Every structure is written in structure tokens, then in C-alpha cells.
């Protein structure tokens, strides 16, 4: 399975994003993540422009709606030719199956589809008290990953510290895409359950999503290269 570093382009405008990507030399095209902030600010055109520049894109919009709406929305996202996109596993197996149908193009090709299990910002206490979910957070993560697997999805977004548990439950081929990555010598920012690129590889992450350690670095290209070197063991 292809493993790589995905840079979270958490910028508020197309101009800022393109200025950032301009720093990378021709021939070095990082895999990038476009989230809700940038997509809602700059629209589908920023996706097309970044594709034109030759990057692979993870469109992180975390869809969660009735199956019919998700199916039709995924058809639109698929036509943007993104490489990976996602839904919330909490939308149920039926919704995840509908997402997969919508994403699949007439020729049978489709972007990778992964599911968010539990957001890493959700604590076990809040999940149990506010959402009335009686299980432990790890039990829900494993169950949601199994549901995603049953629906035919390619993998899940989870904390790198949960990647091993997901692989054990769903098999080695089931992808884990993991944010919460920091260099050993760097600040954690607001992330809590973090690990290093090298440790994420050891635990079994297939893709690591890295934002501020690259985007806010003095030399983002050097930080991206360091991250790839550590994660891919180059
Ligand atoms: O800057 P940092 O490396 O913390 O960025 C991590 C990226 O991954 C952000 O875009 C954040 O929204 C995203 N993310 C996360 N935790 C999740 C899901 C997504 O940090 N559970």
C-alpha cells in the first residue's frame, strides 16, 4: 500500500494556499488536504487549481447526512477528481454505502473513501454523558471502523495511537489516516494524543496528516522532507 505524508492546507484563502504551494520546487508535489475552511472559502475552483498543479488531494469534508444526499454530494466530489475524501462513520453503514455508490464513476474508478470514527477532540466522558453512548471510546472506534469496513470503505481517520487497534480489528489492508503528528523536538499545540512520524509508521499508519509542523515552519519544504524521511524510513 502507498504510504505518504499529507499536508493539511489549513489556510483561509486560495491566495494563501497557492503562495504556500509555490514554495515547493517543480517536481516535488506534496499530497495535500483541503478541509472545510478552505473549501467553503474558495470553493471547488481551489480543488481544480491544485489538481492542475499536479498534487494529489484529500478533500476532508466529513459528510454526515441522509444517504440520498450523501450519494448525490459524493457524485459531485468525484467529478472534481480528488484522490481521497471522507464521511462520518456515525452516519451508519447505509450512508457509507451510499457514499461509495455516489463516488464510483461510470468507468468503475473512484477516489479513496475513508470514515471518521470518533473525532480526537471527543473525550470518553463527553461521549458517554452528552451522547449517551455507554461503550468505551476504544470500543466505539473499533465498531465504527468495522462498520466502515463492512460498507466497503478503504479505511478510517483515527489517532495514530489507535491505528494498531484498527488494523487488528479490520485487517492490515484497511487504511489508517492519522493526524496528531509532531516532531519529537516540537510543541504539541492543541493536539493531545500525538506521536512522531517514525512512531506512526511503526504503529501502522498508512498516511499521516501534518498541518502546523510543516505549514508554520520557517522552511516548510525542509520540514515536509524531514517528515517524509522519518515516516517512510528513506
Ligand atoms: O496542525 P496539525 O498538524 O495539528 O493539523 C492536523 C490536521 O488534521 C488539521 O487539519 C485537523 O483539522 C485535522 N484533524 C485532526 N484530528 C482529527 C481529524 C482531523 O487533527 N481527528
Domain ranges of the chain: 4-232
Helix axes 137-151, 163-170, angle to 10 degrees: 50
4-232, CATH topology level: TIM Barrel (3.20.20)
For ligand 1, atom 3, the nearest C-alpha belongs to: 211
Please indicate whether residue 143 is annotated as part of the active site: no
Confidence check: pLDDT of 8 > 80: yes
Q: What is the mean pLDDT of residues 189-211?
A: 91
HSE of 146, CA atoms in CB hemisphere, 13 A: 9
Confidence check: pLDDT of 1 > 80: no
Q: What is the mean pLDDT of residues 168-192?
A: 91
Confidence check: pLDDT of 192 > 80: no
Q: 33 CA to middle of ligand 1, Å?
A: 10
Confidence check: pLDDT of 61 > 80: yes
C-alpha cell at 202: 511503526
> How much is the pLDDT for 186?
86
Q: 18 CA to middle of ligand 1, Å?
A: 20
Q: What is the CB < 6 Å shell around ligand 1? A: 8, 10, 35, 119-120, 157, 179-180, 189, 191, 209-213
Q: What's the rounded Cα separation, in Å, for the pair 203 and 206?
A: 10
Q: What's the rounded Cα separation, in Å, for the pair 205 and 71?
A: 28
**Nearest CA-CA partner of 6 in 164, 157, 188:** 157
**Nearest CA-CA partner of 86 in 58, 119, 51, 46:** 58
Q: What is the mean pLDDT of residues 49-58?
A: 98
Q: What is the pTM of this model?
A: 0.96
| Greatest CA separation for the chain | 51
Sign, CA torsion 217/219/221/227: negative
pLDDT digits (tens, 9 = 90+) for 148-157: 999 999 999 9
* Catalytic residue chosen out of the listed positions 62, 72, 97, 229: 62
pLDDT digits (tens, 9 = 90+) for 70-110: 999 999 999 999 999 999 999 999 999 999 999 999 999 99
Amino acid at each position: 500500500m502507498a504510504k505518504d505524508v499529507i499536508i493539511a492546507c489549513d489556510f483561509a484563502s486560495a491566495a494563501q494556499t497557492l503562495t504556500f504551494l509555490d514554495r515547493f520546487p517543480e517536481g516535488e508535489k506534496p499530497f495535500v488536504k483541503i478541509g472545510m475552511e478552505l473549501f467553503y472559502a474558495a470553493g471547488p475552483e481551489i480543488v481544480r487549481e491544485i489538481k492542475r498543479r499536479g498534487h494529489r488531494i484529500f478533500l476532508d469534508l466529513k459528510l454526515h447526512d441522509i444517504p440520498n444526499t450523501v450519494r448525490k454530494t459524493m457524485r459531485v466530489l468525484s467529478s472534481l477528481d480528488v484522490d481521497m475524501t471522507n464521511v462520518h462513520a456515525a452516519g451508519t453503514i447505509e450512508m457509507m454505502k451510499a457514499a461509495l455508490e455516489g463516488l464510483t464513476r461510470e468507468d468503475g474508478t473512484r477516489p479513496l473513501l475513508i470514515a471518521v470514527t470518533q473525532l480526537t477532540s471527543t473525550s470518553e466522558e463527553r461521549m458517554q454523558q452528552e451522547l449517551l453512548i455507554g461503550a468505551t471510546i476504544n470500543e466505539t472506534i473499533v465498531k465504527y471502523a468495522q462498520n466502515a469496513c463492512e460498507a466497503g470503505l478503504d479505511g478510517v481517520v483515527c489517532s495514530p495511537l489507535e491505528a494498531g487497534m484498527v488494523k487488528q480489528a479490520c485487517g492490515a489492508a484497511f487504511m489508517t489516516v492519522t493526524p496528531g503528528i509532531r516532531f519529537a523536538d516540537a510543541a504539541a499545540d492543541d493536539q493531545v494524543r500525538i506521536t512522531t512520524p517514525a512512531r506512526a509508521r511503526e504503529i501502522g499508519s498508512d498516511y499521516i496528516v501534518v498541518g502546523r509542523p510543516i505549514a508554520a515552519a520557517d522552511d516548510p519544504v525542509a520540514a515536509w522532507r524531514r517528515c517524509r524521511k522519518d515516516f517512510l524510513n528513506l
